[in-house]
Chain A
Amino acid sequence: MDKLIVSTSPHIKTKDSYKKIMWSVVLALIPTGIAGVFIFGISALKVIVIAVISSLLTEAFIQKLRNKKITIFDGSSFITGLLLAYNLPPKVPWWIPMIGSFFAIAIAKQAFGGLGHNIFNPALAGRAFLLASWPRYLTTWQYPRWHIDTLTTATPLGIVKEKIPLNLPSYGKLFIGDKAGCIGEVCILAILLGAIFLLYKGYIRWYTPFTFIFTVGLLSWIFMGEGLFKGDWLFYILSGGLFLGAFFMATDYVTTPLTKKGKFIFGFGCGILTFLIRKFGGYPEGVSYSILIMNAFTPLIDRYTKTKKFGYKK
């Protein structure tokens, strides 16, 4: 007999490792990617591939610089690359996803200490950086490829906000993705498929996404119409990046609160901020900024949402 291992209990561990969870999230994001490529064509695929590869390479490069173990196959930087691409319009120049991924991984993730230590969602930080630096590329939208009109257009939220004389897509079209928008935000059906898989596996909880979408819907119904309680809430929740953000970015483990109560507060905060940006802000869409702002509040939320412990008077 060789040496025996001595360590503290417990001596058995679940099979659900971190890598398994991360690759499951990648799997859950695949339908959305397929839908994006189907809707916008090969240019969308190009953006996705460049974003993912740059993300992986940046991670390896920085980890090498920091003399850390290279962990690019754990799935987490793959997700960052995917999510960044999903948050970009389909026809951006090739260097846009590259720089975005570099910023996301090098600055938003690794500069803070790598996995588990970043304050802001890396993909969204990357997108915010790109939007601030090259706003023109980030706000040039395409029709789905089956529309004969190949000219640029506006997103449904943009049409409403800027009062552009274009027809709004029907609810059905908004749901399946026959509209202009970012690669990964248009097909809500595909997003929901992935989300249901993650909810079923228990890898994400419904607390944040539900509260987020519900709050946006409620506030839109009250304030977004002509007069109170006349808003087209269904249009506002089906437009923009709400579903993608709510299910895949507001549920990111690292940058959101730990407890159930905290997750509800986070979702509620995201909902209010999204509504405020859409209603009063300079941009037609506010999902990504609202999540980034709430990321900054996460430590504070954590501090005030400790669990009710066993054996204390209620």
Chain B
Amino acid sequence: MFFNLKNTFYGGVHPPYYKDLTRFSPIEEIPPPKMVVLPLIQHTGAPCEPLVKPKDKVSLGEKIASSDKYISSPIHSSLSGKVLKIENFNHPTLGKALAIFIEKEETEEKFIEYPQKKPEELSPQELKEIIKEAGIVGLGGAGFPTHVKLSPPKPIDTLILNGAECEPYLTCDERLMCEKPEEILKGLEIICKITSPQKIFLGIEDNKKEAINIMKNSLHKLGLDKVKIVVLKTKYPQGGEKQLIKVITGREVPSGGLPFDVGVLVHNVGTAYAIYEAVYRGKPLYERVITVSGKAIKRKGNFKVRLGTLVSDIVEFCGGFLKEPKKIVFGGPMMGIAQWSLDTPIIKGTSGILFLTEEELNLEESGPCIRCGKCIEVCPMKIMPASIALASEYNRWEIAKNYNPLDCIECGACSYVCPTRRNLVQLIKMAKLNHG
């Protein structure tokens, strides 16, 4: 190797980060909206069944939907009010999904902290139950139910807390680390109590100097000498689970495998914070911190919002648009999902909303592959995006298969560098669907 692979991984790209648009904005609470729309599926797994019916009164934090399937996560009301209806509505990742509409009452009821046993007295099993009942899922984006992740089928020896936040624009994890470091670490302690790892790491990219210092001080203050902070090189997708594990432990998650196959568990810092709130304050997941950014929106920043808040309410709170947005993206610009309507609710996995202008997007038409090989140079999974895409373009699925499209993590690095603007991720996704 001719380049240094310490604290970084093979491939990757350096997109413009635009983190300064929001990184200095302290987390601010957006007042609860008049109405929220809570989709019955906000996680990876089985959808929930509603526990309420129209006209029912619900209070803030009340469980309103659940499932008896193991891989699922209950949903709680994010307002005190009345159930309006249960209908199909826009969903940020699925297009349409069944959702519960809740209207706010005149006076907002404050959430009452449950009287609970002290966290130290709870057994791992009880802690897991609390996390499950609080509806906590991975807040990094994928939304996998946390209680399932906390019960790995194989023993794990390493726990990694992911504070890399490598997606451009997004700064919500960074703000959370700056403002709630002790809470995050207490959440981390709970995860440790449940999974008892021997080694614990906190990975943060080196462009978040303030967060690194604050976390270091808090570790010291809480006497958590076991936790090691790993300062990672800033490069996208450093926060990708497989890349993070490789950098920190040197282990490669096998193709088709999961982190526990190499004895590792990865959790997002936001998830650790939610766990803290559930265990210490008895608070279910009904609100989260999101980054609102992009050059089209007037006020950018980090906001604590109720789940189910519609984008239109957030736009109104942020003072409308400066310029016309060409794309509205849930999540980061590299892996986020473009929305077609402002009437789309925030769900558990929404880490940010970006209002992107034409200038930020670069809407050039895509051209033919010129075989420059840039996509292969940047692919962190070391697959050959160009070859998959060429086969996929002509529906030659049996050829595409030879290049292992299923290993693609859809990070978007290949499409980002492609000089002829080919939609490589889309073509690889098609190859995945037709893998057979």
> Are A312 and B415 closer than 8 Å at their CB atoms?
no
Q: Chain B: which residue is nearest A308 at the CB level?
A: B382
Q: Is B372 part of the binding interface, using a Cβ–Cβ cutoff of 8 Å?
A: yes
Q: Is B319 part of the binding interface, using a Cβ–Cβ cutoff of 8 Å?
A: no
> Are B338 and A7 closer than 8 Å at their CB atoms?
yes
A260 partner residues in chain B, CB cutoff 8 A: 377
Contacts known (A10-B416, A17-B421, A117-B368); A5 close to B253, Cβ less than 8 A = no
> Are A11 and B329 closer than 8 Å at their CB atoms?
yes
**Chain B's nearest CB lies how many Å from the CB of A208?**
11
Q: Is A133 part of the binding interface, using a Cβ–Cβ cutoff of 8 Å?
A: no
Contact among B338, B340, B364, B407 with A11 in the assembled complex (CB-CB below 8 Å): B338
Contact among A8, A117, A308, A313 with B429 in the assembled complex (CB-CB below 8 Å): A8
Contact among A2, A16, A258 with B373 in the assembled complex (CB-CB below 8 Å): A258
Contacts known (A5-B327, A254-B371, A310-B381); A17 close to B255, Cβ less than 8 A = no
Alpha-carbon distance A10/B327, docked complex (angstroms): 12
Most chain-B CB neighbours within 10 Å: which of A256, A259, A308?
A: A259
Alpha-carbon distance A312/B253, docked complex (angstroms): 9
Contacts known (A14-B13, A17-B364, A309-B382); A4 close to B370, Cβ less than 8 A = no
Alpha-carbon distance A172/B330, docked complex (angstroms): 62
Q: Is B384 part of the binding interface, using a Cβ–Cβ cutoff of 8 Å?
A: yes
Chain B interface helix/strand/loop/mixed:
loop
> Are A307 and B383 closer than 8 Å at their CB atoms?
yes
A259 partner residues in chain B, CB cutoff 8 A: 373, 376, 384
**Chain A's nearest CB lies how many Å from the CB of B19?**
14
Contacts known (A4-B327, A9-B334, A258-B386); A116 close to B419, Cβ less than 8 A = no
Q: Is B51 part of the binding interface, using a Cβ–Cβ cutoff of 8 Å?
A: no
Contact among A2, A8, A12, A18 with B324 in the assembled complex (CB-CB below 8 Å): A2
Q: Is B356 part of the binding interface, using a Cβ–Cβ cutoff of 8 Å?
A: yes
Q: Is B254 part of the binding interface, using a Cβ–Cβ cutoff of 8 Å?
A: yes
Contact among B254, B334, B367 with A12 in the assembled complex (CB-CB below 8 Å): B334
**Chain A's nearest CB lies how many Å from the CB of B166?**
13
**Chain A's nearest CB lies how many Å from the CB of B380?**
7
Alpha-carbon distance A6/B404, docked complex (angstroms): 27
> Are B369 and A311 closer than 8 Å at their CB atoms?
no
> Are A11 and B371 closer than 8 Å at their CB atoms?
no
> Are B382 and A12 closer than 8 Å at their CB atoms?
no
B369 partner residues in chain A, CB cutoff 8 A: 116
Alpha-carbon distance A11/B361, docked complex (angstroms): 6
Alpha-carbon distance A6/B373, docked complex (angstroms): 27
> Are B407 and A9 closer than 8 Å at their CB atoms?
no
Interface size, chain B (Cβ < 8 Å): 71
Contact among B338, B361, B376, B412 with A6 in the assembled complex (CB-CB below 8 Å): B338
Contact among A4, A9, A254 with B328 in the assembled complex (CB-CB below 8 Å): A4
Q: Chain B: which residue is nearest A306 at the CB level?
A: B384
> Are B327 and A13 closer than 8 Å at their CB atoms?
no
Contact among B168, B368, B412 with A115 in the assembled complex (CB-CB below 8 Å): B368
Contact among B324, B362, B370 with A116 in the assembled complex (CB-CB below 8 Å): B370
Q: Is B423 part of the binding interface, using a Cβ–Cβ cutoff of 8 Å?
A: yes
A312 partner residues in chain B, CB cutoff 8 A: 254-255
> Are B339 and A254 closer than 8 Å at their CB atoms?
no
> Are A1 and B324 closer than 8 Å at their CB atoms?
yes
Most chain-B CB neighbours within 10 Å: which of A114, A260, A311, A313?
A: A311
Q: Is A21 part of the binding interface, using a Cβ–Cβ cutoff of 8 Å?
A: yes
Contact among A12, A253, A258 with B361 in the assembled complex (CB-CB below 8 Å): A12
> Are B255 and A309 closer than 8 Å at their CB atoms?
yes
> Are A116 and B383 closer than 8 Å at their CB atoms?
no
Q: Is B337 part of the binding interface, using a Cβ–Cβ cutoff of 8 Å?
A: yes
Alpha-carbon distance A260/B373, docked complex (angstroms): 9
Q: Chain A: which residue is nearest B341 at the CB level?
A: A4
Contact among B373, B377, B384, B415 with A10 in the assembled complex (CB-CB below 8 Å): B415
B336 partner residues in chain A, CB cutoff 8 A: 9, 11
Alpha-carbon distance A256/B371, docked complex (angstroms): 8
Contacts known (A13-B362, A21-B419); A311 close to B257, Cβ less than 8 A = yes
B360 partner residues in chain A, CB cutoff 8 A: 12
A114 partner residues in chain B, CB cutoff 8 A: 368
Alpha-carbon distance A263/B374, docked complex (angstroms): 13
Q: B317-344: which residues lie under 8 A (CB-CB) from chain A? A: 321, 324-329, 333-342
Alpha-carbon distance A4/B254, docked complex (angstroms): 39
> Are A10 and B421 closer than 8 Å at their CB atoms?
no
Contacts known (A10-B334, A13-B364); A1 close to B321, Cβ less than 8 A = yes
Q: Is B196 part of the binding interface, using a Cβ–Cβ cutoff of 8 Å?
A: no
Contacts known (A4-B326, A5-B363, A10-B412); A258 close to B387, Cβ less than 8 A = yes
Q: Is B156 part of the binding interface, using a Cβ–Cβ cutoff of 8 Å?
A: no
Q: Chain B: which residue is nearest A114 at the CB level?
A: B368
B280 partner residues in chain A, CB cutoff 8 A: none
> Are B419 and A4 closer than 8 Å at their CB atoms?
no
Q: Chain B: which residue is nearest A259 at the CB level?
A: B376
Contacts known (A1-B321, A258-B387); A16 close to B417, Cβ less than 8 A = yes
Q: Is B147 part of the binding interface, using a Cβ–Cβ cutoff of 8 Å?
A: no
Alpha-carbon distance A295/B112, docked complex (angstroms): 73
A16 partner residues in chain B, CB cutoff 8 A: 417, 419
> Are A115 and B373 closer than 8 Å at their CB atoms?
no
Q: Chain A: which residue is nearest B380 at the CB level?
A: A310
Q: Chain A: which residue is nearest B256 at the CB level?
A: A311
B321 partner residues in chain A, CB cutoff 8 A: 1
Q: Is B242 part of the binding interface, using a Cβ–Cβ cutoff of 8 Å?
A: yes
Contact flags A110-124 to B (C-beta < 8 A → 1, else 0) = 000011110000000
Q: Chain B: which residue is nearest A256 at the CB level?
A: B371
Q: Chain A: which residue is nearest B321 at the CB level?
A: A1
A20 partner residues in chain B, CB cutoff 8 A: 419
> Top 4 closest A-B pairs, CB basis?
A10-B412, A116-B368, A18-B419, A311-B255
A-B residue pairs in contact (CB < 8 Å), sample of 8:
A9-B410, A11-B329, A12-B356, A13-B361, A14-B15, A18-B419, A21-B372, A310-B10
A4-B340, A5-B338, A6-B340 are known contacts; what are 18 more A-B pairs with Cβ within 8 Å? A1-B321, A4-B325, A11-B338, A12-B362, A13-B421, A18-B370, A18-B419, A18-B420, A21-B419, A115-B370, A253-B371, A258-B373, A308-B382, A310-B382, A310-B407, A311-B255, A311-B381, A311-B407
